Chains A and B, each alone.
Chain A
Amino acid sequence: MSEPKNPENAVDVAGTGASELDRFPDPGMHEHKLRMADKDPKAAKRAEAQVVILFVISIVGTIGMLIAYFAIRPEGTTASVRNANLALGLGMFFALMGIGLAAVHWAKTLMSDHEKSEDRHAQRSADDVREAAVAVLKEGAADSGIARRPVLQGAVVTALALFPLTIVVPLISSVGGDWDISKFKHTIWKPGTRLAIDPTGRLIKASDLTIGSVVHVIPDVPAEERRSHHWIAEKAKAIVLLVRLDPAILKETEERKSWSYDGIVAYSKICTHVGCPVALYEQQTHHLLCPCHQSTFDVADGAKVVFGPAKRPLPQLPIMVDDEGYLVAQDDFDEPVGPSYWERLK
């Protein structure tokens, strides 16, 4: 057990007795220690009483839960639902926890704790058993005649090889059923689509917006389309944040001068980093924050990135005012919205 004092000896052990080294010496049983309850009948009695008390706690918990179920009914208010849940939960907690604690305490203090060992049997079967098994297999193969019936051989291999297609083909075709990535490049904004307020669908007039106003915008589509199955996917791409700024602080490039209307600008609400909805707007700094990774965009300056992991400005939706004074889109976004993907600029 102690470290060998003689280094030569150690080298000897390592060199000659490799197979012995692999074996871990059997440490044998630890010395059995008697517990309080084994030595002292009073302690045993005490432990028994503790186990009984734990079971009684469980019984009381069950009865309490049943009483609570009939006595405390949720009346429809938040507080009454909370109280009813709390009473039921506490009753169940004591009912089950009492049984669990009692069982563990019982086993630890009163049940026999004498260590017993049972040796494992060898994994390798005896030689005659192995030979008999091989003989049976060979006899079976010869009996089936597969070696001398090549057509049958081919048929069984083909059948087994083809069967997995019944799983693989539907799986692959439903995963990759739609390889049309052009849909990522467009949203349902079209020239003349009116801007509407999310979630009510009310239309927006330019005169409705005071400086500092923010509106969360969806394209104006018929109400029945907003209830349709594909709407949520279209909305997820098309959502827009509309802000009215003091025209004096708005910095605009020459080609985008006509994209805003009297200080009103509209930007895609989908972060160019990984696509979270960018919606935390600070009115005084005119910064727009993404809640996921704190990318910050300056709405007064083309929504360019001023902080955070996003690499591109938010796409701008060109807007104008129609004959009736409503805000409408001039066109779709001129670039794909949201995070980058391989074919983005192809």
Chain B
Amino acid sequence: MKALAARRHHRFTPVVLLLLALLVTGGLYAALAPTSASADTAATDDIAAGEKLFLANCATCHGVNAEGRDEVPSLIGVGSAAVNFQVGTGRMPMAMNGPQAEAKPAQFDAKQTSQLAAYVASLGPGPSTPTAEQVDPALGDPSMGAQIFRTNCAMCHNAVGAGGALSEGKFAPALTDTTPTHIYEAMLTGPQSMPVFNDATITPEEKRDVIAYLVEQREGSAGGLDLGGIGPVSEGLWIWIVGIGSLIGCAVWIGAKSS
């Protein structure tokens, strides 16, 4: 140490320090840069491919800069979760104007959907697609999910997720076939008539609980036929037509004389 300290005023000291600094910087760059550089190119490629898809399929309504117009929402800041939901469930691109955009077979495959999502996510920060672990129903608590669902969702989507009517031809769709990822994204982004449930109002763990509850409902009812789970209409129809009908049949048969 003393030898080093003695030479710190040597006239070559700045040169040696500069060389050392360059060496460290270059070494670090060589060690760290290649991976991030290739990831950047992949993301840039996705964004570029997504932009092409966007200009060809979405820009007619949403505008070339995704700025939106009168009735068409801007896509700046909606995030990849919204794109993955709207395009992945086939709601977008819309086939026609109607009370609401309905789910239909998806027009783009998973890769194209993720490219579109990457492009829209690059326009502004927004909620992103959840990871597989975030939507794994096996990790959620269905009982807690039932409480959250009852309070926040059941009034529109029905107590077991069978869907229900809204006003003027709009409706809350059944959740019986929706994938866990799409359920998560719908809560996160609030598509169409649905309100937004961000990570502060329903935490990611609670969202997973809701998914666990909904997936559990797909096993059906322990009591037998659930008749669609839509409440008194189907149950009443069943009991008035089949139940009372067979009672009347029995009464007529008992009262009729044998031939």
Which residues in A have some Cβ–Cβ distance to B below 8 Å?
33, 35-37, 77-79, 81-82, 85-86, 89, 104, 108-109, 113, 197-200, 204-205, 207-216, 243, 277, 279-285, 287, 289, 291, 294, 296, 307
Contacts and interface: CB of A to CB of B under 8 A. Distances in A.
Interface residues of B, number: 32
Contact of B220 (A78, A113, A209): A78
Nearest to A290: B155
A76 B219 CA distance: 12
Contacts of A198: 151
B201 A215 contact: yes
B176 interface: no
The prevalent SS among residues of B at the interface is: loop
B168 to A, nearest CB: 8
Given A33-B257, A35-B259, A197-B201, 18 more contacts: A36-B259, A37-B258, A78-B219, A78-B220, A82-B222, A85-B222, A86-B224, A108-B258, A113-B258, A208-B201, A209-B198, A210-B198, A211-B196, A243-B195, A280-B166, A281-B195, A283-B194, A283-B195
A287 to B, nearest CB: 7
Nearest to A243: B195
Interface of B: 147-148, 151-152, 155-156, 166-167, 170, 190, 192-198, 200-201, 206, 216, 219-224, 253-254, 257-259
B125 to A, nearest CB: 12
Contacts of B220: 78-79, 82
Contact of A282 (B166, B223, B259): B166
Contact of B197 (A33, A213, A280): A213
B147 A205 contact: no
B193 A213 contact: no
A212 B195 contact: yes
Contacts of A36: 258-259
A267 to B, nearest CB: 14
A199 B190 CA distance: 21
A200 B254 CA distance: 58
Given A82-B223, A210-B196, A284-B192, A216 B152 contact: yes
Nearest to B155: A279
Residue in B190, B195, B224, B257 with the greatest tally of chain A CB atoms within 10 Å: B195
Contacts of A207: 200
A199 B148 contact: yes
Contacts of A82: 220-224
B219 A79 contact: yes
28 contacts: A35-B259, A36-B258, A36-B259, A78-B216, A78-B221, A82-B224, A85-B223, A85-B224, A86-B224, A108-B258, A113-B257, A198-B151, A199-B148, A200-B148, A204-B201, A208-B200, A213-B197, A214-B201, A216-B151, A277-B155, A280-B166, A281-B195, A282-B167, A283-B192, A284-B193, A289-B166, A289-B167, A291-B155
Contact of B196 (A108, A214, A277, A289): A214
Residue in A37, A82, A113, A294 with the greatest tally of chain B CB atoms within 10 Å: A82
A214 B197 contact: yes
B190 A209 contact: no
Q: 6 shortest A-B CB distances, which residue pairs?
A: A208-B200, A214-B195, A78-B219, A81-B222, A212-B196, A279-B155
Contacts of B196: 210-214, 283
A281 B192 CA distance: 11
Contacts of A81: 222
Nearest to B206: A200
A270 to B, nearest CB: 13
A82 B197 CA distance: 34
A200 B147 CA distance: 9
Contacts of B166: 280, 282, 289
A267 B17 CA distance: 68
Contact of B155 (A210, A243, A280): A280
A109 B193 contact: no
Given A35-B258, A212-B190, A287 B197 contact: no
Residue in B190, B216, B222 with the greatest tally of chain A CB atoms within 10 Å: B222
A296 B190 CA distance: 20
B193 A282 contact: yes
Nearest to B193: A282
B72 to A, nearest CB: 12
A329 to B, nearest CB: 18
A4 B10 CA distance: 148
Contact of A109 (B152, B190, B206, B258): B258
Contacts of A37: 258
B167 A208 contact: no
Contacts of B216: 78
B156 A280 contact: yes
Nearest to A241: B195
B200 to A, nearest CB: 3
Contacts of B254: 104, 108
B167 A296 contact: yes
